[in-house]
A and B are shown apart, each in its own frame.
Chain A
Amino acid sequence: MPETSHVRYIDKTRTYYQAEGYGTPYEWAHFDHTPFTPFASVGKPLSRCRVGVVTTAEMARRDAEPDPEDPRRLVYSLPTDVPVEELHSRKAGYDRHATTLDDVDSYLPLTHLRRVVAEGRIGGVAPRFQTIHFEYSQRKTLAVDAPEILKQMRGDRVDVAVLTAI
């Protein structure tokens, strides 16, 4: 039966990893309540807002020696004013059979964000973007990673945030 609607990743991964011999299926995060901050509460138009950017794409600079692996998998940041040609993703978990991560703007739209700044649609882009790792420990994401992103964004006076999930 061909898929005609969106992919059911939760079902597919459960079946796949059980067939591979893994035990208890991963419990994807679920909440009954979703928080919401209305845009109006920011108190200024988007054209004056500074946009923060977060991605799961495990970004790195092409010209730099690769950092040693961080077993703690902490949040790290890189400048947003680098041309995307100088960046690349080290992420292994994407659909490598169907697509590529060769074009950074297809998952981290820095070029397009700079363009909308120039057009006056947003006020600016934060000076750095954050990479967050996918974690099996939801507790770690909530207790360590998310507070670090918030701290950096507050330091950068971010008003609104764009998050891209590979």
Chain B
Amino acid sequence: MSLAARYLEEHAIPTVVFGCARDIVEHCGVPRFVFSDFPLGNPTGKPYDLDMQRRVLSLGLDLLVEATVPATTVVSPYEWSADHSWKDRIFSKEQPFLDPDATRKWLEDKERYRALKATGKI
């Protein structure tokens, strides 16, 4: 996603990225970034909180127009919850990121992709 934003920007389309993985996006470097300190999944506001979603989008539209230098990050003022313990459980043994079915599918997809690549079909 960050690579696509960079590509569009190199081709004269100003971009704004909304995301929740600040370290990954900033490690890559994107022109404009609205960061929500939320669990992965809701980069444009909490589910069913329409007012918050509207405001987060608005932050991004302001940033599109107002940013003057690349790699400008705006931090959304919203907190997921007063309790930050969800952050500690991410990618832990007790709480695997993908469920077993999704993990199996991911591994199968990877093998299919490799096979296509090996035969020159990609």
A→B interface (CB under 8 Å): 2-4, 6-13, 15-16, 19, 28-31, 33-39, 41-42, 46, 52, 54, 56, 69, 71-73, 92-103, 105-109, 111-113, 115-116, 121-122, 132, 134, 136, 138, 140-142, 145-147, 149-150, 153, 158-166
Contacts and interface: CB of A to CB of B under 8 A. Distances in A.
B81 to A, nearest CB: 9
B122 interface: yes
Contacts of B57: 109, 112-113, 116, 162
Given A161-B15, A165-B21, 20 more contacts: A2-B85, A8-B23, A12-B90, A13-B91, A28-B28, A29-B3, A33-B29, A34-B6, A41-B12, A93-B40, A93-B98, A98-B39, A99-B42, A109-B45, A150-B8, A153-B8, A161-B8, A163-B18, A164-B17, A165-B20
Majority secondary structure of chain A interface residues (helix, strand, loop or mixed) = loop
Contacts of A136: 110
Contacts, number: 245
Interface in B14-41: 14-25, 27-31, 35, 37-41
30 contacts: A2-B85, A7-B87, A7-B90, A10-B27, A16-B91, A28-B27, A29-B2, A30-B29, A31-B28, A35-B10, A52-B13, A72-B113, A92-B98, A92-B102, A92-B106, A99-B41, A99-B42, A100-B41, A106-B49, A106-B53, A107-B43, A112-B44, A116-B57, A136-B110, A146-B4, A149-B8, A158-B13, A162-B15, A164-B17, A165-B18
